[in-house]
Chains A and B, each alone.
Chain A
Amino acid sequence: MLPIEVSLAVERALTVLSDDQREAVILKIYQGFKFEEMADILGCPVSTAKSRLYTALDLLKEMLTSVPPESGSGFRLK
């Protein structure tokens, strides 16, 4: 799979998530915030932030299961 195809698959998968779920994924996976910090930023209880993230991760796992992990371009999102 070409890096551009991986990027497109990731972007498509992120689009399927709800706004809340996408925000949780960005804060945790891309920006490395802790659960407490995420809850502060999102203005919700830690349990809610966790549940949004976990649902999102399950969805992303299913959607990206066919994408081989070594085929990405290896860069990090800002």
Chain B
Amino acid sequence: MSCSPEQLKDYFLGELSPAERPTLESHLALCVACRDELASLGNTRTVLLSLPDEEPPRRIAFVSDKVFEPRWWQRIWRSGPQLGFLSAAMLATAILIHAFVVRPEGPSIARAGITGAHLQPTASPADLDNRVRAEVARAMTENETKQMSRVLELVDTKLRQSDDRNGQTLVLIREYLERIDKRNAVVAKRVLYE
């Protein structure tokens, strides 16, 4: 195998197929240049991940307060996900209470004279956890979709009312919001199917 920068990057990012991995690993054992490239990519990632997990300080708050004040769409957007999270958390709590406290007796099965051997075993904590996660993800997606379409409607209304300059900004905001919506959908899909 000859050097393949693209395959090396796939490997580095954990995206190389299991079938192709052994060939590349054998090549790596023999090729110093590729090993160096891999080490260099690793260093780059380490440096990139060293950004602090905090927002930049808002210096001279009394001067910059106006600058950092959320716009109308930011206020709407920020309230949406928060409401979504709150309702999802409440739903999760309700499911847990239902599962542990108000568990149904299952009289119809007992009355029908079905023996315990035919009953399904009680859900394990892992199953329960998965069900709760799936429910929460579904509820959140539903809520976020509703909130997002409301925000997009508002942006569209503003877009119709605005002049050209504001219009361009609103188009950018719209694209940004649509992208966030898609990202949320991918995250929700991941939670549902993991």
Q: Which residues of A contact B (CB under 8 A)?
A: 3, 6-7, 9-11, 25, 27-30, 33-35, 37, 40-43, 50, 53-54, 57, 60-61, 64-65, 67, 69-78
B47-A77 in contact (CB<8A):
no
B179-A75 in contact (CB<8A):
no
Bound-complex Cα distance A43 to B48 (A): 25
Chain A residues, CB < 8 A from B53: 75-78
A41-B44 in contact (CB<8A):
no
Chain B contact residues: over half helix, strand or loop, or mixed?
A: helix
Among residues of A, the one whose C-beta sits closest to the C-beta of B40 is A61
Could you say which of A10, A40, A42, A78 contacts B48, with CB atoms under 8 Å apart? A10
Known: A34-B15, A41-B182. A72 touches B47 (CB 8 A): yes
Bound-complex Cα distance A74 to B186 (A): 27
Q: Which residues of B contact A (CB under 8 A)?
A: 5-6, 9, 13, 15, 40-54, 179, 182-183, 185-186, 190
B46-A69 in contact (CB<8A):
yes
B48-A25 in contact (CB<8A):
yes
Could you say which of A30, A57, A74 contacts B41, with CB atoms under 8 Å apart? A57
B50-A57 in contact (CB<8A):
no
Bound-complex Cα distance A6 to B46 (A): 11
15 A-B contacts (beta carbon < 8 Å): A3-B52, A7-B50, A10-B50, A29-B49, A41-B179, A57-B9, A61-B41, A64-B43, A67-B47, A69-B50, A71-B50, A72-B49, A76-B53, A77-B51, A78-B53
